[in-house]
Structure formats: C-alpha cells, structure tokens
Copies of this chain bind each other. A is one copy, B any other.
Amino acid sequence: MATTTSAVPPLATLNTPNSATTMDEKLSGNFLTLENPVFCCFLFWASVLVIKMLLMSLLTALQRFRNKVFPNKEDLFFKDIEVQFDDPHVERVRRAHRNDMENILPYFTMAILYICTNPDPTVACILFRVVAIARILHTLVYAFYPVPQPSRVIAFGVAFAITIYMACAVALDVLKHI
C-alpha cells in the first residue's frame, strides 16, 4: 500500500501542468496564438496596416479617374482619351504605394519572426503601435497632402529604424545558428 500512496501524488501534480505556470510556460514556445497578448497587439496593428496598404490601390484608381489617366487600352472608360503615363498625381500615389511595399511587407515578416523570439511584451507592443502610426502618417504626408520635408523622412525613418532594430535583435538572438 505504501508504494501506491507515494506514487499517486507526483502523478497528480504532473497531470495539472498549467496550475501555477507563468505566461511563458503557458505559451510553451508557441507565440503565434491569441493567448499571447504581444501577438494580439500585432494582429490588430498588422490588420490596420494591411487595410491601409490595400486602400492605396483605391486611391490610385481614384486619381486615375479624376485625372483620366489610364495605363491600359482596356481601361479607357471615357471617350476620346488615350493611354497615358507620368501623371504627377497618379505617380505620387504610386510612389507612396511602392514605398509601403518596400517597408511594410519586410516589416510584417520581421515582426512575426520577432514575436517568435519571445521579446519583452511592453517593448514589442509599443514598437508595433509606433510603426503602424508612423506608416499611416507617412501615407498622409506623401499621398494625401504633400507636406514639406522632413515630415515624410521622419515618418519613414521611424518605421525603418524599428524594423532594423527587430532584425538585429533577432539575428543576435540566434547568432550561433548561422
């Protein structure tokens, strides 16, 4: 009987591994879940940035219709116009859109990888919010209402620097796996 009674308690504790664990242990190496507040924060702001980025296409289309500038023959929705390029209003929006692709898309990948390295939650959430706001401001001062420099350079630089920081933090974290 003695062996049986001594064997049961450790089994019982092993059977309830989540009873007194920290967040880290609860996630158990899986950071891309809704249980991870850092990931939830990223989910929200990444969704905002995806919507913002896609709306650039509509803004380009709006400028094309407003200025009647279309790049394809099948797009000539009005009579007596020809395919045309290099309209300054359209090209400005397209440059802003391209800048989004150059910066937001690598940021998306980098941020997901950064979350998987279990960063400090407070720092990570602040970075996600700052990047999203900086990129929204970048669009406003570039594509919507051109504002004198250095407003655009600053908005660009903030998101740029944060992405570089994430990349360096991740690379240093896994340096031995080169």
Contacts and interface: CB of A to CB of B under 8 A. Distances in A.
Given A47-B170, A72-B95, 15 more contacts: A7-B8, A29-B35, A30-B30, A40-B174, A41-B174, A41-B177, A41-B178, A43-B173, A46-B110, A47-B168, A50-B106, A51-B168, A54-B164, A74-B152, A109-B112
Contacts of A23: none
A66 to B, nearest CB: 17
Contacts of A8: 4, 7, 11
Interface in A91-120: 91-92, 95, 97, 101-106, 108-110, 112-113, 116-118
Contact of A34 (B29, B73, B178): B29
A24 to B, nearest CB: 12
A67 interface: no
Contacts of A95: 71-72
Contact of A170 (B12, B43, B92): B43
Nearest to A12: B11
Contacts of A4: 1, 4-5, 8
